[in-house]
């Protein structure tokens, strides 16, 4: 009888050990695996961001000052897919309109396009637009590196320099691997400038609210950076439209320089 009780106790103990092991495995599956996925996708987001930064540098280098290299192109691999899920690469035209007015007179209007990647189980989007690289997570976005806009004071003239690339192309491609992107320079651009002005207003009208907020943040950062160079920089945000008005000191004038190269973007071999 004692032997039978001893054997039963051992069997019950063995079952309890198995239950504990099963609970540990179950908790790891619930907590540990999702955490591993998040860590992997966070790392992948950094990898994609670096790829877009490399893409920006390569595209900028296509349009060297004064070149006439019509037809020169660059090919880069964007690692859209993560280790746990497929990714997708999108090219969208007409996501916003960038307008520049001088002394309340229209000077230029540029349709903004956007190249971006999404991946994994998150709502992360990383992309390139208007010469800048941004990251968007769960509805809000930040610039990794903003569009090119500098203000230089060379008394009595303040120089406002802008580089706004025009991107052509439209596609949506999914892949379990990297996606090759070809970018062709179809119209190189040298810096062009006009007369001297007393006010420059840069306005961005976005299709999406988060994009307007992103540009408003860029304008506010510009105001903070250059507030000691000019008399006044005023930033306004209304609905999906944001603007920045630059006014020099009364003894100075503004000189606007714009560079607007045009590119065609497409995917290859997907």
In DSSP terms, 259 is beta-bridged to: 163
Per-residue pLDDT, 33: 43
What mean pLDDT do residues 2-11 have?
Answer: 55
Q: How many domains, in total, are found in the chain? A: 1
| Structure confidence by residue, pLDDT tens digits, 220-237 | 999 999 988 888 899 999
Q: Using DSSP, state whether 227 is helix, strand or coil.
A: coil
- Where in the sequence is the domain holding 198, given as residue range(s)? 4-267
Closest Cα partner for 215 from 159, 161, 134, 151?
134
Q: Per mean pLDDT, which range of 60-74, 119-133, 154-168, 237-251 is the poorest?
A: 60-74
pTM: predicted TM-score of the whole model, two decimal places: 0.82
| Structure confidence by residue, pLDDT tens digits, 73-101 | 888 888 866 666 678 899 999 999 999 99
Per-residue pLDDT, 256: 93
Measured CA to CA, the distance from residue 270 to residue 265 in angstroms comes to 14
Q: Which residue has the tokens 């996501």?
A: 95
φ, ψ for residue 14, nearest 5 deg: -65, -40
Per-residue pLDDT, 30: 46
Query: For the range 223-231, what are the long-range contacts, defined as Cβ-Cβ under 8 Å and sequence gap of 24 or more?
Result: 226/151, 229/151, 229/152, 229/153, 229/158, 230/151, 230/153, 230/158
φ, ψ for residue 152, nearest 5 deg: -125, 135
Measured CA to CA, the distance from residue 193 to residue 208 in angstroms comes to 31
Q: 233 Cβ partners below 8 Å, 6+ apart?
A: 222, 223, 226, 227, 244, 245, 246, 247
40: pLDDT strictly greater than 80: no
């Amino acid at each position: 009888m004692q032997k039978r009780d001893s054997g039963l106790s051992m069997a019950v103990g063995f079952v309890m050990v198995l239950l504990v092991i099963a609970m540990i495995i179950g908790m790891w599956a619930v907590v540990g695996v999702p955490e591993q996925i998040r860590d992997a996708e966070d790392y992948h987001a950094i990898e994609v961001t670096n790829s877009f930064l490399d893409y920006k540098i390569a595209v900028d280098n296509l349009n060297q000052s004064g070149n006439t290299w019509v037809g020169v192109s660059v090919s880069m691999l964007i690692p859209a897919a993560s280790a746990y899920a497929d990714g997708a690469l999108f090219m969208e035209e007409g996501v916003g309109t960038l307008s520049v007015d001088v002394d309340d007179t229209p000077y230029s209007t540029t349709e903004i396009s956007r190249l971006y990647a999404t991946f994994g189980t998150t709502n992360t989007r990383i992309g390139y637009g208007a010469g800048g690289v941004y990251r968007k997570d769960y509805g809000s976005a930040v610039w990794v590196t903003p569009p090119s806009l500098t203000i230089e004071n060379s008394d009595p003239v303040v120089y406002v320099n802008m580089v706004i690339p025009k991107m052509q192309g439209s596609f949506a491609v999914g892949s379990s691997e990297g996606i090759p992107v070809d970018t062709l320079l179809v119209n190189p651009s040298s810096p062009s400038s006009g007369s001297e002005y007393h006010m420059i207003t840069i306005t961005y009208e976005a299709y999406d609210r988060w994009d307007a907020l992103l540009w408003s943040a860029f304008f506010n950062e510009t105001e903070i950076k250059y507030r000691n160079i000019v008399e006044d920089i005023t930033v306004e945000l209304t609905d999906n439209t944001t603007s920045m008005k630059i006014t020099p000191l009364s003894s100075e004038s503004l000189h606007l320089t714009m560079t607007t190269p045009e590119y065609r973007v497409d995917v290859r071999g997907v």
